[in-house]
Structure 1
Amino acid sequence: MRSVDYAALTRNLSAVVPPARIHTDPLRRLSLGTDASFYRLTPEIVVIAESEAEVSGVVATCRSAGAPVTFRAAGTSLSGQAVTDSVLIVLGEGFVSFAYDEAEQIVRLGPAMVGGEANRRLLPFKRKIGPDPASIATAKIGGIAANNASGMCCGVGQNSYHTLAALRVMLADGAVLDTSSPAIIATFRATHKPLLDGLAALAADIRADAALTARIQEKYRRKNTMGYAINALVDFSDPIEMLAHLMIGSEGTLGFLARVDYRTVPDYADKASAFVVFEDLENACRAVTALKNTPAEAVELLDRAALESVKTKKGMPVNVDALGPAASALLIEARAPDAADLRARISAVVAAIDSASTLTGVAFSHDPQVTARYWDIRKGIFPAVGGKRPAGTTVIIEDVAFPVERLAEAAMDLRALMDAHGYREAIVFGHALEGNLHFVFAQGFDTPEEVKRYGGFMEAVAELVVGKYDGSLKAEHGAGRNMAPFVEREWGKAATDVMRRVKNLLDPENLFNPGVVLNDDAEIHLKNLKSMPAVTPLIDGCIECGFCEPQCPSKGLTLSPRQRIAASREMRRLRCDDPNAPELAAMERDYLYAGDTTCAACSLCSTVCPLEIDVGRYTRSLRADRRGFVAKAVAGAAARHFAAVTGVARAGLAVGAAVERVVGAKALKTVSGAANKVFGTPQWSTAMPRPKRTSSAPAPGEGAPVLFFESCASRTMGPAAGDGSDPLVTVAARVFARAGYKLIAPDQTDDLCCGQSFDTKGFPDAANAKARELAQRLGSHEPIPVVFDASPCAARMKAFSDEKFQPFDLVEFLHAKIAPRLTFAKLSDPIAVHATCTLRKAGLAPALMELAGLCADHVIAPPGVTCCGFAGDKGFYTPELNDHALRALAEALPETCREGYSSNRTCEIGLSSHSGRRYRSILHLLDEASR
């Protein structure tokens, strides 16, 4: 490739893709260019592509400019195959597509569809896709297929290569081949005859070499993602099929996968798992060899260090501290189409293991909650080790495969090799039934000596895996940059030359992802290593895996949690190494909006992070650090005079309502939206509430007393225009009375607040003062339950509970105390529910669903809607966050669904505005269904 004028290229790309989706600023280039590997390359240009036509235009423009192109789906890859210093094309939501042919049992998926979401949609058909990587809840189909990712249960037979039905691929010359379309195939055969003839000639050359043919067939009997899938040249006679299967595992170096069609596999409901502990690693591995010929679905190995890393995780079935220094475990799963078959399979598995060699025996659990915890423990190993590494180091996971019959010997050799190179803290685990072992260790790259140590270790690993055992240096993670220099070491010259010919046939200009899979630089795996400087203990444990991203409401609008951490690390590095760097000033300026203002600080990221890293908490800490004396003084005054603050808010709502009556809701929204962008004033919403009218205290009743506290939002904001709903406290009194409780409402509450709004804005002192005041005031009553109508308030106040003050979330109390005492008549119309971030973090989302299920036959929780992005008052002041978070809500609800329910007033405003439905408190639903 020639020298590239990226400024000119950016201008030319603007004719293909809207400029808003072309990023050249330092913050976006760095954050969007980050993946889960330990390599750092910052793209010159990042393009968010939403259609095949846009990808085609970008590729053509880059080809003309001589600029290499790399494709990115979720960026969960671990070997450096999704980073670049040229042009990065990130797949947008336009590439999320799903279509299932039930008769053929084939699913057609867009490359931006998340693997776990594909399986969720296939669940009603009792089918799933074959690949099951541990990252499936985040990884996208494009990456899963491009890396031939497998996982814990799919083995070799159900990976992308073997379950591929068809695909749609764009080649480097811009041509598109759809192998499900006979017409397109016929045209392609005519236009690309030299290419297809070249593949056929390659296949003929291989078949003429019996030794090479045998070598290829043997290598692919076990897991292997080193190099290209040249078994396609042996397995198929039609060059079209050869080309399609060569794309699997090609890591974006041969073509762009615009759609992948899978033959689905059964998703058996009958399953059971056993967690079996052995005295040492060798005995555990010998058991694996015995299990190879049984109907075990999966066998996962955990060595002693791996067990230690997850010993405190919920559901760990053994006391790890009581085990010996070499103890190891196998997590075994059996699945079957029915219970009788499952029992037979379990019996075969149990019979294959010498129970005398175990410390726990072989006991299978059929309890889904127990077995889910087993697998959560297994999935948490890699991130857990990464989180415990020394600050400033990175975590490396290697991925090898040995012949299963030699697994015990190989595992012991691997353990000894790690100890000899000073990696005594390393752990070994993996998909043992396939001979596939992962080993994880912490590595610093801040000194030449450490880089040299890593280089020497990798040489030794290559010699062990290939030289002694003829295994695979990459079994399922892809060669990437990490193993590219070792491809010829593993395959030999003849096979590697075939791979080079494949690359030259399909991408003669080396346009797509150069340097990945094949690389002539013998030290490329030791270059462009990611810096991981310590920033704060709140985020230092992050390994940038990206598991958090699907939960984040600002992902795709500005930054995700992973991207906020990556940017924070880079800014810290620049402050230390080059404080005058112009990119530092630009990043710090842009981070204020992209990293802070648009962060909902909802902390949902922590619920899926194996290390429970809370970027919301980190953001709140940054806000607190920036608050000066004057800002703190103003916040303190607002806290002390909070009744006046709520009064001003009511007055503002009254003025807005009056203006709306004159100019109309749409006009007011337009004008206020423009003012919001210029002056930062609140944006009016079509679902904006009217000021709360004073509601009379509930009439005294009989039964056990309960104190009901309305949040400041509920006390300030009444129903929207045209909504004649009763005041919430009135509804609560009715519902509680039916269940035999006497509701008590505290007097003079306008000055009371839990402090949540102060805390999210970075004023922890004012926030805690208000919370303590509230706890003291409400605790001055006799010790009775205090039910909070808003879930965020309840969650915050639980930290201030004592024997006098017993706070309950509304959903928690309704589910545990109220609903069991009521009789319900289910509503016939479908209803929508939204579990707030707080409910999700507290584990109360299922309780909300159960309450709704008592009240209606059809309950809808729209998939893909996590945090609503209203975030206290950001729905007013940063409305684009709420808009982005709920962009798919209306489409996810059927026309017949006209009502929605939640447990936080401000969330309900945003949900109503973006769905076109009325959202109210879950109390209203119980009131209506229990009459």
Structure 2
Amino acid sequence: MSLPERFLGAIERLIPADRRFDDPLSTLAFGTDASFYRLIPKLVVRVESEMEVVELLKLACAEDVPVTFRAAGTSLSGQALSDSVLIVLGDNWNGREIRNAGEQIRLQPGVIGANANAALAPYLRKIGPDPASIGAAKIGGIVANNSSGMCCGTAQNSYKTLAGMRMVLADGTVVDSEDATSVAAFRQSHARLLHQLAELGRETRANTELAARIRHKYRLKNTTGFSLNALVDYDQPLDILTHLMVGSEGALGFISSVTYDTVPDHPHKACALVVFPDVENCCRAVTMLKQQPVSAVELLDRRSLRSVEHKPGMPAWVKELSPTACALLIESRAASQTLLHEQVEAVRAAIGRFPVEKLVDFSEDPVTHEQLWRIRKDTFPAVGAVRETGTTVIIEDVTFPVERLAEGVNRLLDLLEAHHYDEAILFGHALEGNLHFVFTQSFDEQEQIARYEAFMGEVAQLVAVEFGGALKAEHGTGRNMAPFVELEWGDNAYRLMWKIKRLLDPKGILNPDVVLSEDPQIHLKNLKPMPAADGIVDKCIECGFCEPVCPSNGLTLTPRQRIVIWRDIQARKRAGVDTGEIERLFHYHGIDTCAATGLCAQRCPVGINTGDLVRKLRGQQADKTGTANWLANNFAAALQGARFMLHVAKGTHTIMGTRGLERASSVIARASRGHVPQWTPAMPQPVQRLSLPQLPSRDARPRVVYLAACVSRVMGPAAQDREQESLLDVSHALLEKAGYQVVFPDSHSHLCCGQPFASKGYPEQAESKRQETLNALLKASRGGIDPIYCDTSPCTLRLVQELADERLQIYDPVRFIRTHLLERLHFVPQAAPIAVHITCSTQHLGEAQALIDIVRRCTQDLVIPEGIHCCGFAGDKGFTTPELNGHALRSLKDAVHLCTEGISTSRTCEIGLSHHSGIDYHSLVYLVHRVTRPRSFRVKRQERAMEELS
């Protein structure tokens, strides 16, 4: 059924065309969230203001058009999907206001949870909810699902830490609980609604049996159904309303902003892993730990431990545990180290009375802490990584009363075994009796759907009826558990929920069939296919964790969406369906605008690099092998040609001026469809001189081999840049200042790491150039005796990835400065603020924190723009697809407006960064060279002596 013409016409007048999507590629891309459902929206609308939401809801209400709100789409129960109109948050929902030295924070719904905590970190505070998806999930979804997490429990979730809310109701009315004028107006315009809410509260509290049931249910972690505890916890109707919105999953209204009472983020922590011989002793220990000063207690059954025992870095003893073993990962946090030690002793005493099979005692060592938490965090992706292609990963979360946890665990394990979910694992937040069980499921055949239906029916009966627990502890009801709400809550509470729904959404337009549904089979409909697409991406679980770091997110597609589309294309091809139109759209949205830098792999629970798929597809389409071969064999000539083109651009700029050249270049770039790059004032001048210094016959200084990247040999500073020396000259000067004898490899003008070829889909030529360079470096370094310095991090990364020759020590600027130059240089920090861009390659090399630490030595004021993870220049994408670079850096100028200079470690990235920021970005070596002077060995000896005395 199509959307009403009057509705569509009004939407066209309200929302610009570039924020409305109804094409088959976009609607399919947004038809997926992290759940195992798929609904294809008829229209996707990206909203940028509350006014747009208000008008949209008024139109939807007038035309009876169902709408669904979507923040990050990391929800696991199908609550961020629609087959009607999907309303997606745009860029302009990122506001935050810190109050009372961090005791409160007001957040718009588009703020990523981890970014809220980063803003609060200087105050040693954080928001209460801590879902595993906090690095991707947005506040709108965190509140709407009442998400919790490992340390949050029931005391620090959104419901319990809510201080205020601004919301839009189904009829388009806005009310802000913290604004007296807004409240007064709402009380006048919606007096009847408030009276009815107050009456519902009085009736509920007067029904002692129902009130007692509600209080009992929320003693547990519980997100099944609407938040009925609002009716017994509060008597003021506006308080009832704001707390009903928490956990409502967009089915009662839209949350425009929320104010949290924050919680302490204690800096001191200790962690232990205790393995018990069986589930019974493990769960008895949980009951004891409930009374102890612990911040997290995570349970891992033997299956979950087995799923990670072969992972790199896992302790060998994990493989040797008994078949019945069950573990607790315990963490304690405190404001001081003394208090932490007291708490740890109390916890040790509490668990000391139980038999233990293996103990990793409490440690404050960050490395040990990280290793132990990896055991817990790797369990879910471990199942996803080994599942059969075509199956989906399902993660359910239930709550048992903690006093019956052992019985609940064993009964749940029995059910999984009875239904032959042999790969399933079980873990959870034990203090709350909250268990996650993960299993894989195929929905390709009716027999498999019937198996899932039977299993979930028995789970519902076991948890909700027999144990009086919760079928959804923290993942939200969604459409997955909507048919079981009445079973869990009973008739009275269920009818009360429907009263609330019809009171706040009388036309039923808000997220229908989510939380409540009259269709008892809704959880078995619109099941998401997971067809084989390519071995590179088949393990993708479509969680969306990758999306925040993708530069094309919001421009075209995200890594998750690229995989969704490619899966669909392959399935259609196998079915004999024509894919011409969607492949045409995918070429630009999926392939051309992918930076392919691989940051998505760092966020992916199963380590998928969607860029690898894109490079493979580019390779399949690459049809200029002869040209690639010529370039590889005549690389020095190609670079000379590039320098010549920069000379032409420089001369043209002299004649036409900045504005004239920009206008002319823009016309030519559009006409050439990106083959001729757009000129900007940040465009580099050609490197003027490539004559390298001759080495003296005798030199006692230590040697370093300097590999100048091809971009460093071609691209000098921009004409208006205050730095006019080339990167090659500055790097050389810095190395000599630090006391090094600088050696250049033979035939350096022919050398290339291969990255330009790899990114264009020519892997053979790329590897040939890489090996040629590695051989030259081996010779220049005297068989690996001398360290090798490469002046850009992308080239370094390309050379060291899968490097088989252990003799070669290849350093990017950050690592070389960190390991070789800090002791040789004296830093005098400058006062002017410096912006830092951490390139994708720096992140892959593991040098991000080191870069920050080095810049802190150079300046008293450092700025790292939030939300910019990849600049989108991606080698030459900034030239050929400049809209990707522009989109990725759309917020940069505002973030660095107080800075005088920016720092990076990639010459091409610096072009785009300079252009879009309004300040000059340079390599790190310029800054280090400017603020340092050589240290004498005498000074170094004195400093070492002082360190030893201290």
Asked if the contact 1:46/1:87 (under 8 Å) is kept, the reply is yes
Match of 1:664, SS? helix
Unpaired stretches in structure 1, ≥5 consecutive residues? none
Of residues 657, 666, 670, the one that matches 1:664 is 657
- Distance change in 2, residues 1:179/1:730 (3 Å): same
Q: Name which of structure 1's ranges 37-46 and 713-722 shifts more when overlaid on structure 2.
A: 713-722
> Is 1:635 matched up with 2:628?
yes
The 2-side partners of 1:473 and 1:666 are apart by 64
The 1-side partners of 2:102 and 2:196 are apart by 32
Give the match for residue 857 of structure 1: 860
Residues 836-875 of structure 1 aligned to structure 2 (within 5 Å) = 836-875=839-878
> Is 1:729 matched up with 2:731?
no
Residues 147-546 of structure 1 aligned to structure 2 (within 5 Å) = 147-313=145-311, 316-317=314-315, 319-354=317-352, 356-361=354-359, 363-546=361-544
Query: What is the one-letter code of the residue matched to 1:364?
Result: F
Match of 2:256, SS? strand
- Distance change in 2, residues 1:918/1:369 (3 Å): same
The 2-side partners of 1:499 and 1:11 are apart by 35
Give the match for residue 88 of structure 2: 90
The 1-side partners of 2:363 and 2:110 are apart by 36
Q: Name which of structure 1's ranges 820-829 and 699-708 shifts more when overlaid on structure 2.
A: 699-708
Asked if the contact 1:545/1:562 (under 8 Å) is kept, the reply is yes
Asked if the contact 1:698/1:733 (under 8 Å) is kept, the reply is no
> Is 1:828 matched up with 2:823?
no
Residues 567-606 of structure 1 aligned to structure 2 (within 5 Å) = 567-580=565-578, 584-606=579-601
Question: Shift of the alpha carbon at 1:92?
Answer: 0.8
Asked if the contact 1:302/1:428 (under 8 Å) is kept, the reply is yes
Give the match for residue 741 of structure 1: 740
Q: CA-to-partner distance for each residue in 1:612-631, whole Å, 9 max, x for gaps? A: 11011111011111223xx1
CA RMSD of aligned residues (A): 1.7
Q: Name which of structure 1's ranges 203-212 and 670-679 shifts more when overlaid on structure 2.
A: 670-679
- Distance change in 2, residues 1:73/1:58 (3 Å): same
Question: Shift of the alpha carbon at 1:102?
Answer: 1.3
Q: Name which of structure 1's ranges 188-197 and 139-148 shifts more when overlaid on structure 2.
A: 188-197
Q: Name which of structure 1's ranges 354-363 and 74-83 shifts more when overlaid on structure 2.
A: 354-363
Question: Shift of the alpha carbon at 1:917?
Answer: 1.6
Q: CA-to-partner distance for each residue in 1:723-782, whole Å, 9 max, x for gaps? A: 443233332232222322100123543322111001001000111111122222333332
Query: What is the one-letter code of the residue matched to 1:663?
Result: M
The 2-side partners of 1:848 and 1:698 are apart by 29
The 2-side partners of 1:163 and 1:314 are apart by 39
The 2-side partners of 1:764 and 1:10 are apart by 47
Question: Shift of the alpha carbon at 1:854?
Answer: 2.4
Query: What is the one-letter code of the residue matched to 1:478?
Result: G
Give the match for residue 758 of structure 2: 759
- Distance change in 2, residues 1:803/1:269 (3 Å): closer
The 2-side partners of 1:706 and 1:79 are apart by 56
TM-score in terms of structure 1 length = 0.97
> Is 1:775 matched up with 2:774?
yes
- Distance change in 2, residues 1:355/1:656 (3 Å): farther
Asked if the contact 1:706/1:742 (under 8 Å) is kept, the reply is yes
Give the match for residue 793 of structure 2: 791
Q: CA-to-partner distance for each residue in 1:566-588, whole Å, 9 max, x for gaps? A: 111111222223513xxx33221
Question: Shift of the alpha carbon at 1:639?
Answer: 1.3
Give the match for residue 622 of structure 1: 617
The 2-side partners of 1:7 and 1:646 are apart by 57
Query: What is the one-letter code of the residue matched to 1:697?
Result: L
Question: Shift of the alpha carbon at 1:480?
Answer: 0.4
Question: Shift of the alpha carbon at 1:875?
Answer: 0.7
Match of 1:93, SS? coil
Give the match for residue 142 of structure 1: 140
Q: CA-to-partner distance for each residue in 1:463-498, whole Å, 9 max, x for gaps? A: 111221010000111110000000000000000000
The 2-side partners of 1:8 and 1:684 are apart by 45
Give the match for residue 942 of structure 2: none
Question: Shift of the alpha carbon at 1:556?
Answer: 1.0
Give the match for residue 817 of structure 2: 814
Query: What is the one-letter code of the residue matched to 1:661?
Result: T
Question: Shift of the alpha carbon at 1:792?
Answer: 1.3
The 2-side partners of 1:822 and 1:539 are apart by 46
Q: CA-to-partner distance for each residue in 1:209-267, whole Å, 9 max, x for gaps? A: 21111111111111111110011111111111111100000000000000011111111
The 2-side partners of 1:585 and 1:281 are apart by 55
Match of 1:823, SS? strand
> Is 1:877 matched up with 2:876?
no
Match of 2:516, SS? coil
Q: Name which of structure 1's ranges 4-13 and 299-308 shifts more when overlaid on structure 2.
A: 4-13
The 2-side partners of 1:889 and 1:102 are apart by 28
Of residues 47, 50, 59, the one that matches 1:49 is 47
Q: Name which of structure 1's ranges 522-531 and 830-839 shifts more when overlaid on structure 2.
A: 830-839
Q: How many residues were matched structurally? A: 923
Q: Name which of structure 1's ranges 150-159 and 202-211 shifts more when overlaid on structure 2.
A: 202-211
- Distance change in 2, residues 1:708/1:566 (3 Å): same
> Is 1:612 matched up with 2:610?
no
Match of 2:607, SS? coil
Query: What is the one-letter code of the residue matched to 1:21?
Result: R
Question: Shift of the alpha carbon at 1:689?
Answer: 0.6
Unpaired stretches in structure 2, ≥5 consecutive residues? 934-950
Question: Shift of the alpha carbon at 1:313?
Answer: 4.6
> Is 1:646 matched up with 2:639?
yes
Give the match for residue 694 of structure 1: 689
Give the match for residue 938 of structure 2: none
Match of 1:780, SS? helix
Match of 1:452, SS? helix
Question: Shift of the alpha carbon at 1:877?
Answer: 1.0
Q: CA-to-partner distance for each residue in 1:826-846, whole Å, 9 max, x for gaps? A: 222222222211110110112
Give the match for residue 919 of structure 2: 917
The 2-side partners of 1:898 and 1:409 are apart by 63
Asked if the contact 1:772/1:800 (under 8 Å) is kept, the reply is no
Match of 1:284, SS? helix
Give the match for residue 685 of structure 1: 680
Question: Shift of the alpha carbon at 1:103?
Answer: 5.7
Give the match for residue 944 of structure 2: none
The 1-side partners of 2:41 and 2:11 are apart by 15
TM-score in terms of structure 2 length = 0.95
Asked if the contact 1:775/1:801 (under 8 Å) is kept, the reply is no
| Percent identity for Structure 1 against Structure 2 | 49
- Distance change in 2, residues 1:318/1:263 (3 Å): farther
Match of 2:92, SS? helix
The 1-side partners of 2:136 and 2:619 are apart by 31
Q: Name which of structure 1's ranges 504-513 and 680-689 shifts more when overlaid on structure 2.
A: 680-689
The 2-side partners of 1:63 and 1:318 are apart by 60
The 1-side partners of 2:720 and 2:216 are apart by 72
Query: What is the one-letter code of the residue matched to 2:649?
Result: G
Asked if the contact 2:95/2:108 (under 8 Å) is kept, the reply is yes
Query: What is the one-letter code of the residue matched to 1:727?
Result: S
Query: What is the one-letter code of the residue matched to 2:640?
Result: G
Give the match for residue 927 of structure 1: 929
- Distance change in 2, residues 1:709/1:361 (3 Å): closer
Give the match for residue 945 of structure 2: none
Match of 1:449, SS? helix
- Distance change in 2, residues 1:133/1:902 (3 Å): same
Question: Shift of the alpha carbon at 1:445?
Answer: 0.4
Q: Name which of structure 1's ranges 324-333 and 211-220 shifts more when overlaid on structure 2.
A: 324-333
Query: What is the one-letter code of the residue matched to 1:718?
Result: G
Give the match for residue 940 of structure 2: none
The 2-side partners of 1:308 and 1:457 are apart by 23
